[in-house]
Structure 1
Amino acid sequence: MSLTVVMACELLPTDHTGPSVFLAGPTPRLDTVPSWRPDAIAELDRQWTGPDLPELTVYSPESRAAHYDDQVDWETDARERASAILFWIPRDLVHLPGMTTNVEFGLDVTTGRAVLGYPPDCPNPDRNRYLIWVAHRHGAPGRDTLPDTVTAALTLARNAFTTRWSPGLLKSAPGSAIIIPPHTPRPLYRATRAGRGAFSRSGPLRLSSTVRWPHTPPGGAATETVSQ
């Protein structure tokens, strides 16, 4: 599995610079009502494939056993951290009303990180019409199948992750030292050496420079020379 699942009220990762997806939507309150999140996690794992992909963190607000107030704080913090917020709303006014989800979508739709999923075969699809309009109004992607919703969320997560490491161009003289921050994803650094434009926090590595790691990266020396 190329992803890590963090459940409600579990310790959030201290390093949250990598790609991540929060699974927002109604949560079953009865054991007899199946959750949609296991299918979403399986689909995320199926689609998150490819060479040199970093670990994907998935935040699932389903609780193993947590106090409600604690969970609200956890969910708020996790949604703020997430690269993408996947809303899947199989609206069922009896078992999955999604009233809190409506509020969360209103808070997140303008962040550029929200994706709305609205299955047309759910018990009450008409109750999703306004959210669909809001998503369209603010340019948030909307999809009507779970696989397509996952694809859209992973696109946002991947783009946010790349942008986070490329805020601007790095201007350095040949042979100068570039300090790579801790937890820089090794795949991005490898991509630099292959000429595919990996990034440090200062931007893409340019010219011929010495890259100095504050820690020794897996499979490499603490200092290496990059030529482009």
Structure 2
Amino acid sequence: MNDRVTVIWAREPIPAGPSVFLAGPTPRDADTPSWRPAAIAAIESHWQGQGPLLVLAPETAGGLRESDYDNQVDWEVDGLDSAGAILFWIPRDIRRLPGFTTNVEFGLYARSGRVVLGCPPDCPNPERNRYLVSTARRYGVPVLETLTDTVTSALAVIGAEPAR
């Protein structure tokens, strides 16, 4: 574990400081692995900023889902609003990782100047990301194909942001 990177899990208080929000589809069953641990590991490996970094992960440590939907939504909106960078990683799989909420979140924040979009070309349904990629290009959002490149791009956004 990197002591310069702190993961803030869903519904935990969000402290002030440089942060990246890990936006993208969340597994809906125990058989579907989350992509977020790999993203967190890549962030820990690549973060070279001046101080500590917060990683806002809209999952619960241990994988438990929130029974109060409004609490989860409120936390995610607060996290998205406060994050210095919003990393969208969308390994689209309509059956296991549909990402319908992710589509809405991307649309809401695409023009913020804080978004990067990662869409792996080898995911089960890459054709379902075409509109997001087109929208990203229209608004100057970086579009990447690997999780590591997406992380690097998001960290560059944080490095260019004034402290929030």
TM-score by shorter chain over 0.5: yes
Q: Computing the radius of gyration over CA atoms, which structure comes out larger, 1 or 2?
A: 1
Structure 1 counterpart of 2:131, which letter? Y
CA-CA distance at 1:69 after TM superposition: 1.3
Question: Residue in 2 aligned with 1:62?
Answer: 59
Deviation, 1:132, is 0.3
Letter in 1 for 2:136: A
Q: Provide the secondary structure at the position in 1 that maps to 2:9.
A: strand
CA contact (8 A) 2:18 2:163 kept: no
Q: What TM-score do you get using the length of structure 2 for normalisation?
A: 0.93
Partner SS state of residue 116, structure 1: strand
* Alignment match, 1:34: 33
Aligned CA distance change for structure 1 residues 123 and 108 (closer, same or farther; 3 Å): same
Matching residue's letter, 2:92: R
Count of equivalent residues: 158
- Cα offset, 1:49, TM superposition: 3.2
Matches of 1:101 and 1:78 in 2, distance apart? 14
Name the structure with the higher strand share.
Answer: 1
- Give 1:116 shift: 0.3
Q: How far is the alpha carbon of 1:65 from its aligned partner?
A: 4.5
State the TM-score, normalized to the length of structure 1: 0.67
Larger relative contact order (Cα-Cα within 8 Å, sequence gap ≥ 6): 2
Counterpart AA for 1:45: E
d(CA) in 2 for partners of 1:84, 1:156: 6
Inter-partner Cα distance in structure 2 for 1:3 and 1:116: 21
Amino acid at match of 1:150: V
Unaligned runs of 5+ in 1: 166-228
Identical aligned pairs, as a percentage?
A: 56
How far apart are the structure 2 equivalents of 1:109 and 1:90?
Answer: 18
For 1:86-97, what aligned pairs fall within 5 Å after superposition?
86-97=87-98
- Partner of 1:76: helix, strand, or coil? helix
Cα RMSD (Å) of the superposition?
1.2
Cα gap change, 1:65 to 1:27, in 2 (>3 Å): closer
- Aligned match of 1:159: 160
**SS of residue in 2 equivalent to 1:62:** coil
* Distance in structure 2 (CA, Å) of the matches to 1:68 and 1:8: 12
